Amino acid sequence: MMTAARPADTGLAGPGELDRYPYAETPGVDRGAPPAWDGEAELSRAGRRAAGSRGRGLHGQLVQQLGQMIVSGDLGADRPLVPEEIGQRFEVSRTVVRESLRVLEAKGLVSARPNVGTRVRPVSDWNLLDPDIIEWRAFGPQRDDQRRELCELRWTIEPLAARLAAGHGREDVQQRLADMAEIMGHALAQGDSLTFSRADAEFHSLLLQVAGNRMLEHLAGIVSSALHVSGAPSGGCDRPTEAGVGHHLRIVDAVGAGDAAGAEAAMRQLLVAHPDVERVVPAPREH
């Protein structure tokens, strides 16, 4: 049976799953119950998009391995991909190979043409906003480019999303944002960076979803994927900090008060790690 380079199931939290990750218990400390997150369908679309095509079983593993090999450059541009050879190498059926290549073709990584076969496409043809490709690039030789590009993308869209979200005045959204910020505070107190980063991702995805702009909403899965891949808080710090939680709380207050300028300013402050660094992105996880 084929063995994937990395597990196909990333173990990331999906919508409505934050409460499945218990906080570390500290003797003598009453941490209180974390806010509930019901994961209503309206607010869960980004999480589903962030999951991308990460499937389980042979099909998902083959997509993962071939995708990583293409993105890393092990399979260079215009390299022919022969289904029979792939099947023999990874010990999978023709059906599994065919379905995997179709997934990669949809991501712009390969192209299939009559009398030419399947070939790897150049980087300029890749769907760089695909959550899987974001993840694969984060672990490959394009890691630095991925960090910079995600940084610039987030700096461009998230302050705008915060400004727009402040104009919608939805109490349910205000409560959900407050819940995520509270979860982050609990996680910080318990030293639980994993729960912190998952709540952080939900917070930022939610802001993009409720900005009232469908194109921004579509990018929610990308930001969520970027944060999940990094495994680090949104401000680019080495670990969760009280300052980071404070910035999130200021965003919550500004959104709740309908203060568009305040929400935008608080988001920009959150995305800046320290004075001599204008923009930051999360550091990729260690293997």
- Report whether pLDDT(52) > 60: no
Q: Return mean pLDDT, the chain.
A: 76
The predicted-structure confidence for 147-156, as pLDDT tens digits, reads as follows: 888 878 888 8
Mean pLDDT of 84-89: 94
In angstroms, the first-to-last Cα distance of the chain is 23
CA distance 71 to 134: 10
Whether residues 164 and 248 share a domain: the answer is yes
Query: Which is more confident, 81 or 151?
Result: 81
Cβ proximity of 283 and 238 under 8 Å:
yes
Whether residues 278 and 162 share a domain: the answer is yes
Whether residues 121 and 148 share a domain: the answer is no
Q: In 3D, which of 159, 252, 249 has the Cα closest to residue 208?
A: 159
Q: In 3D, which of 217, 191, 151, 242 has the Cα closest to residue 26?
A: 191
pTM of structure: 0.66
Whether residues 224 and 208 share a domain: the answer is yes
Task: Kindly list the distances between the CA atom of residue 249 and the CA atoms of 199, 246, 263, 266, in Å, as whole numbers in the listed order.
Answer: 13, 5, 10, 9
CA distance 162 to 36: 23
Whether residues 162 and 267 share a domain: the answer is yes
CA distance 207 to 271: 14
Dihedral of CA 178/182/188/192: which sign? negative
Count of domains for the chain: 2
Host H or E run for residue 230: helix 220-230
Q: Is residue 31 part of a domain?
A: no
Residue 248, amino acid: H
Four-point Cα dihedral 131, 134, 136, 137, nearest 10: 170
Most confidently predicted of 22-26, 57-61, 83-87, 151-155: 83-87
pLDDT at 6: 39
Whether residues 97 and 171 share a domain: the answer is no
Contacts of 153 (CB under 8 A, 6+ apart): 219, 222
8: three-class secondary structure by DSSP: coil
Whether residues 185 and 171 share a domain: the answer is yes
Q: Is residue 23 part of a domain?
A: no
Mean pLDDT of 169-175: 81
Mean pLDDT of 44-57: 43
Task: Kindly list the distances between the CA atom of residue 254 and the CA atoms of 162, 228, 251, in Å, as whole numbers in the listed order.
Answer: 9, 26, 5
Which stretch of 2-6, 63-67, 247-251 has the lowest confidence by average pLDDT? 2-6
Most confidently predicted of 23-27, 76-80, 166-170: 76-80
* Percent residues over pLDDT 90 in the chain: 43
Confidence of residue 56 (pLDDT cuts 50, 70, 90): low
- Other C-beta atoms closer than 10 Å to the C-beta of 31 total 15
Q: Is residue 243 part of a domain?
A: yes
Query: Which is more confident, 172 or 97?
Result: 97
Q: Give the CATH number of the domain where residue 58 resides.
A: 1.10.10.10
> From start to end of 142-255, where are the E strands?
none
Confidence of residue 173 (pLDDT cuts 50, 70, 90): confident
Residue 263's domain spans which residues? 142-287
The predicted-structure confidence for 91-146, as pLDDT tens digits, reads as follows: 999 999 999 999 999 999 999 998 889 999 999 999 998 989 988 988 888 888 88
The predicted-structure confidence for 208-267, as pLDDT tens digits, reads as follows: 988 988 888 888 877 777 676 654 445 444 457 888 899 999 999 999 999 999 999 999
Q: Is residue 282 part of a domain?
A: yes
Residue finishing a domain among 121, 141, 161:
141
Residue 285 corresponds to which tokens in the numbers above?
Answer: 């996880």
- Report whether pLDDT(36) > 50: no
Q: Give the CATH number of the domain where residue 213 resides.
A: 1.20.120.530
Which stretch of 45-59, 169-183, 256-270 has the lowest confidence by average pLDDT? 45-59
Q: Is residue 194 part of a domain?
A: yes
Q: Is residue 108 part of a domain?
A: yes
Q: Burial of 163 by CB count in 10 Å (0-12 exposed, 13-18 middle, 19+ buried)?
A: buried
210: three-class secondary structure by DSSP: coil
The predicted-structure confidence for 268-287, as pLDDT tens digits, reads as follows: 999 884 333 344 444 434 43
Which stretch of 31-45, 47-61, 128-142, 160-174 has the lowest confidence by average pLDDT? 31-45
pLDDT at 139: 83
